Structure 1
Amino acid sequence: MKKEMEEIDKMIREALSDQEAQFYEDLNEPPVLQKLSEVYKSQLGWLALVMNVIMLLLAVLAVYSIISFWNSPEMLAMIRWAVVSILSVMAIGILKLYFWMQMDKNDIRRELKRIELQIAALLHKLDQ
């Protein structure tokens, strides 16, 4: 499968002009840290920042509730602290999942730009 993808990429590079090929190379997948920074630079970057603050607060709540769970003398209090810790960890997971979905959305957008470039190059070649 990987060999087939490399062959397709090679065919695409051969079909493009030098300028188009350079632009195509610039569209390669960025590293994870750059993907993270793209989430903060998007239109919903403020929401990502707010979500990180909420996740930090939930992490503090989870640690506090786990400590309180171990220090509770009564069974009912232990159950309550356990529920709080489980819910806070689940909420952190949900927020992280949303954050990763935003990163995936940017990846899909990048791939669509690649397809648009290929279509534009094909139309340019057909017009000549």
Structure 2
Amino acid sequence: MDKTDDLIERALSAEDRALLASHGEPGYLSQALGLFRGPQGWVGMLAYVTALASFAGFAFAFWQLWTSDDVLAALKWGVVAVLLLQYAAMMKAFMGTRVEANRTLRELKRVELQVAMLRESVD
């Protein structure tokens, strides 16, 4: 934590700390499974399924490349394998950016909660 976090922590009451602690950062598995929930859950599921299919296609193409005797066929399977592996990696990166976007939204909601608690204490 940095100095700003320490100042915020000292300014909160014990009740506020307990409330914010209950809304803490979930674990990695919970965050990853969160991609499949909510109104955009189908996008996460589609990306995951296509990434799995792409990786399975990569494994098949790589096996065909490895067992091929013809140079031209090996080259064709090699190109297909590289493209499928790149697509699988791109989908994994896409899902990673969605996890980070969800983390940002979660932190924004925590800030909104802190502002609401502050506004309630002033009133």
Shorter-chain TM-score tier: 0.7 to 0.9
| Aligned partner of 1:51 among 47, 50, 60 | 47
1:47: how far off?
Answer: 1.7
Q: Deviations over 1:39-58 (max 9, x none)?
A: 11122111211222211211
Partner of 1:39: 35
| One of 51, 68, 74 as aligned partner of 1:72 | 68
- Counterparts of 1:50 and 1:57, CA distance in 2: 11
Which residue of structure 1 lines up, in the alignment, with residue 88 of structure 2?
92
Q: Please tell me the root mean square deviation across aligned C-alpha atoms, in Å.
A: 1.9
Distance apart, 1:112 and its partner CA? 0.9
SS at match of 1:28: coil
Per the alignment, residue 108 of structure 2 pairs with: 112
Sequence identity (%): 27
TM-score w.r.t. the length of structure 2 is 0.85
Moved over 6 A (4+): none
The Cα of 1:121 is off from its aligned counterpart by 3.4
Number of residue equivalences: 123
Deviation at 1:124, TM superposition (A): 3.8
